[in-house]
Amino acid sequence: MGILFTILMGFLFTITLGILFTIVLGIQFTIPNFQDYQIKRSTATPKELFSIYEDLSVQNKNSYRDIGIDDKNISIATITVDFERATRYIFESIFRLTVKAQTPGREEPDGMIKEDRIILYDCKTVLSPPYELPIAHRDQFSRYIKDQYDKLEPHAKTALKCFIIIAHSFADKIEDKIKQMKVEPYIPFCLVTARDLKLIAEKWLEEQKGKTLPTSALVFQGRYTLSEFKKKFV
């Protein structure tokens, strides 16, 4: 009896160790990913990043020197996160809109503007412009729209109005690629370059500083420029 008890206890002890080992391994693989997300950002403020916004869109690490930051340890991941931070600064601090940022580790757009209209946006940096909208990104954006639509309360689903893509520049036939996408529900795709979004933000600061940008000004199908933005207020 004593021998059986000893064997049984040893067996249970082995199983327990195995479970604990699995949990520890899971923590080791999960936590660093989250920490990596946290430490990728530079020490620059969002306002400083806004000043080099177009450079960030083409992964120009040398531009950090213009805001007094040593670019030696600046990685592509850092630039990507900083481009997202600068974009959020535009929507939140300049346009005065409510933004829900991407949850680390989840497959979500970089941001969701939540006002009377709901607008999704995603930032894409490219080392060699223009941005081509590859198949993987088309599938990704379609999933984003469907997932966010499904999460909305029934009364709020009609508020989802637009998906904004922000990049340095866009390939000539990108609109054709968008037309081929199977998006449910269908919403307009607004394509805005980093240069134009910065110009629009500067225009808003110059003429309407402190006021909230109407979300209708961000709902657009196709390439959105400063001149198109001005038409919204004629």
Q: Which residue has the tokens 């409510």?
A: 98
Q: Is the pLDDT of residue 108 over 90?
A: yes
- The domain total for the chain is 2
The pLDDT value recorded for residue 131 is 98
Q: Are residues 163 and 208 in the same domain?
A: yes
Q: Are residues 24 and 55 in the same domain?
A: no
The pLDDT value recorded for residue 137 is 97
Q: Are residues 162 and 85 in the same domain?
A: yes
Identity (one letter) of the amino acid at 60? Answer: N
Q: Are residues 218 and 199 in the same domain?
A: yes
pLDDT digits (tens, 9 = 90+) for 116-147: 999 999 999 999 999 999 999 999 999 999 99
Q: What is the mean pLDDT of the chain?
A: 87
Q: Are residues 64 and 74 in the same domain?
A: yes
Q: Are residues 182 and 95 in the same domain?
A: yes
* pLDDT category of residue 169 using cuts at 50, 70 and 90: very high
- Look up residue 82 and give its two tokens: 């900083």
The pLDDT value recorded for residue 30 is 33
Q: How many CB atoms lie within 10 A of CB 9?
A: 10
Q: Are residues 214 and 141 in the same domain?
A: yes
Q: What is the DSSP string of the chain?
A: -HHHHHHHHHHHHHHHHHHHHHHHHHHHHHHHHHHHHHHSS-S--HHHHHHTHHHHHTT-GGGGGGGT---TT--HHHHHHHHHHHHHHIIIIIS---EEEPPTTS---SEEEESSSEEEEEEE--SSSSB---HHHHHHHHHHHHHHHHHS-GGGGGGEEEEEEEES-B-TTHHHHHHH---SS---EEEEEHHHHHHHHHHHHHHHTTSPPPGGGG--SEEE-HHHHHHTT-
- Look up residue 97 and give its two tokens: 């809109």
d(C-alpha 97, C-alpha 76), whole Å? 28
pLDDT digits (tens, 9 = 90+) for 19-51: 443 333 343 333 333 344 455 789 999 999 999
Q: Are residues 160 and 105 in the same domain?
A: yes
The pLDDT value recorded for residue 105 is 81
Q: Are residues 14 and 52 in the same domain?
A: no
> Domain residues for 31?
1-39
Q: Are residues 19 and 47 in the same domain?
A: no
Q: Are residues 31 and 53 in the same domain?
A: no
d(C-alpha 83, C-alpha 166), whole Å? 10
pTM: 0.83
Distance from first CA to last CA of the chain, Å, rounded?
92
Q: Are residues 114 and 93 in the same domain?
A: yes
Return the CATH number at 212: 3.40.91.30
d(C-alpha 209, C-alpha 91), whole Å? 13
d(C-alpha 10, C-alpha 6), whole Å? 6
